[in-house]
Amino acid sequence: MNTQVQPRPPAARRFGPLGLALGVAGGFLCGVLLVAILGGAKPVIEKRTVTVPATRATGGTVVVSTRVPAIVGQRLDVALDRLQRAKFTADVEGGGLFGIVEEHNWEVVEQSPAPGTMLEQGSQVTLHVERA
């Protein structure tokens, strides 16, 4: 009697918890990269306003004046960025009981001086805000 031992077929391998976690993380990263490549990560602001300063000389001192941008109806964070680029300072009024915690949650409803007014750089623009 001749007895031969037959080799067993290889056992099916299953993913353990670590393999499953690595697979999920890899899929997530691939999705993020795909969205970024296809243009899903676009900036919030698509238009840019370029402010061109006008200069005038008074007695040997150069005074730089710039037009006040129109910022009524814009989010407060966007309005502050535009004022900073135009080299103005901002005085924000409003903001409720706790003040302004997150600037993107507030909208400019009034500004002083009016848009288009020529002011010296460094001048203050007053903004009145309400919850967006």
Per-residue pLDDT tens digits for 14-53: 768 888 889 899 999 988 887 777 766 555 545 566 666 6
Domain ranges (residues) in the chain: 54-131
Provide CB contacts within 8 A for 82, sequence distance 6+: 49, 69, 71, 74
Q: pTM value?
A: 0.54
Cα gap 49→43, rounded to integer Å: 15
* DSSP assignment letter at 6: P
Residue 20's pLDDT is 85
pLDDT digits (tens, 9 = 90+) for 72-114: 999 999 999 999 999 999 999 988 777 888 888 999 999 999 9
How far apart, in whole angstroms, are the C-alpha atoms of residue 65 and residue 28? 51
Does 13 have pLDDT greater than 80? no
**Residue 56: enclosing H or E segment and its boundaries?**
strand 54-58
Q: Which two tokens stand for residue 84?
A: 């900073």
Looking at residue 72, its pLDDT comes to 95
Q: Is the domain 54-131 a CATH 3.40.50.2300 member?
A: no
DSSP β-bridge partners for residue 107: 75, 130
